[in-house]
Structure 1
């Protein structure tokens, strides 16, 4: 069997409120132009967000695209965009306002994805249409786009469609559960199937992850983790502690979150404290790999110090897994 850490193991919905945004936007701007800036901004957001739809888009709803006129004066006079921003194009201003109305931090999104500066409203609308057709709801958009603004400028045919095909055909997720998977890990939609998702899935399955449902619904973040630069280095570090490949494999399968922890900020300081200050043996770590999931400063150190001061002995798992009340009772009883 090859070494388990070897990289060679890897082989236009019209009826939806958003698409009527231009009409609502300019109507609202017209009526709000005389309001004080703060009141106008609040009223605008309320008028555009008062009737959100939670139903997925159906291609049967409409067959044509509603295009609204763009009165320049209304947008230019809106309190959210004072004269100091006059150099911004009207389309760019509209784009910013639409993102904000959807609940997305436009400044952060553009900073993380500069391509948004040149993306058209039509292209953004087409992406949202596509997501709705795959079961995503309007209320999901702030989280999805907030975490991955790159999705807003993705290519539907070459970027997004392959991901949904991957979720359906390789993770075996039924279409009615697409939303659950995407909401769990929006980064899936910003990942290449060929270069990222499929290699990660192949590697994880060879490592011993057989439950596709668990990978899809619980541990999907592992699929967007780079095999060579993220997963393998963590496994190699655990090996340097004196753990065998089989022992590490068993630990990872019992606690998949191990593959998401930082070597520098988690593994190393926590192991040093375990072996040094606590004087614990490696055997306890094999039996309780979840140790790395607890906060060193807020959980591990305080409880270890209290155990030492009380002169009692507790198994690592009991010391950390018990809630505060249970822990106090254990200390009071001298460890039970």
Structure 2
């Protein structure tokens, strides 16, 4: 039996003899199964000391303003955080990100949304930032700086340049978009870089070509790629086609069902009124 797995048996409730760090985690709101799940995925967590690793990181997050109720989900998402030195890694990484424009007041939201960003190497993040700057992603050119993108979509800064950033950029370049337009799309919807070409971008692009909308609509509304093709995009376009009118791309997808119906009816009334008055 692996040591970490055997260590998991030490968190059983038999006789109530729980290790101090397990008691501490449970007081934070974690249950035994959550803790076991963390150790299965990340065995080193079983060996982290309470006073030396876990407690200092948790208390640091609480001091930053992270709600206590969010700590269990943060540690579940990224237990490696408790293995990082506060003085040598965590705090310097945060200062580095602040130098790029991350607002100190936003740390609780950033950490809760994507705690993994604090475990990325600064060199790795700088390489990705350099790549984004090459796209023209700067405050001067498109009104958005890296700090805002870090807040909106922090996972971009841990993605592989070769496996994610370059292929997605090339995908849009091959379809006639300029680097400036791609930069605008990324600033408006940073999650684009997290999508699979085969599973997401290609099939949704192919369908988009059948809609009759100009490709410039995707620069205005790149969130199109975030909607389900089968459950949202195709059904909405089918309903709109049947109505005989055409809405803006963002109206087709972002409106609730009731507001979508209202928008269609209003457009149909306007069109009918135009026919009646001509």
TM-score, structure 2 as length reference: 0.75
Equivalent residue, structure 2, for 1:61: none
Aligned counterpart, 1:251: 185
Does the C-alpha gap of structure 1 residues 162 and 242 become closer, same or farther in structure 2, counting only changes over 3 Å? same
Report the equivalent of 1:232: 166
**1:290 pairs with 2:223:** yes
Alignment pair present for 1:81 and 2:81: no
Alignment of 1:123-134 (within 5 A): 123=52, 124-134=54-64
> What SS is found at the alignment partner of 1:312?
coil
Structure-1 separation of matches of 2:50 and 2:254:
50
C-alpha spacing 1:179/1:284, structure 2 compared with 1 (3 Å): closer
Q: Can you list the C-alpha shifts for 1:79-120, whole angstroms capped at 9, x where unaligned?
A: x5238x9xxxx67x5444433432341122112221112222
Which deviations, in whole Å up to 9, do the C-alpha atoms of 1:159-216 show, x marking residues without a partner? 2122122133333534x5533432342112221122x223223333343133244134
Match of 1:272 in 2: 206
- The farther-off stretch of 236-245 and 176-185 is 176-185
Give the one of 79, 83, 94 matched to 1:153.
83
Supply the distance in 2 between the matched residues of 1:161 and 1:301 (Cα, whole angstroms).
Answer: 46
Could you tell me how far 1:281 is from its partner in structure 2? 4.3
CA distance in 2, matches of 1:177, 1:329: 37
Structure 2 counterpart of 1:98, from 11, 21, 24: 24
Q: How many residues align?
A: 250
Structure 1's 129 and 269: CA in aligned 2 closer, same or farther, altered over 3 A?
A: same
The two structures, once aligned, show a CA RMSD in angstroms of 3.0
Aligned runs of 1:208-227 on 2, under 5 Å?
208-210=137-139, 211-227=145-161
What is the SS of the residue equivalent to 2:129? helix
- 1:171–1:213: 8 Å Cα contact kept in structure 2? yes
Larger helix share, 1 or 2: 2
Give the structure-1-normalised TM-score: 0.63
Q: Which residue of 2 aligns with 1:173?
A: 103
User: 2:42 matched to 1:113?
Assistant: yes
Distance in 2 between the 1:180 and 1:230 partners? 25
For residue 240 of structure 2, the aligned residue among 303, 307, 311 is 307
Indicate conservation of the 8 Å contact 2:102/2:151, yes or no: no
Give the aligned partner of residue 197 of structure 2. 263
Q: Which residue matches 1:182?
A: 111
Larger Rg: 1
The answer as to whether partners of 1:103 and 1:142 remain within 8 angstroms in 2 is yes
In 1, the alpha carbon distance for the partners of 2:68 and 2:85 equals 20
1 CA distance for matches of 2:39 and 2:170?
Answer: 37
Match of 1:331 among 246, 254, 264: 264
Structure 2 equivalent of residue 203 of structure 1: 131
Gaps of at least 5 residues in structure 2 are 1-9, 140-144, 271-278
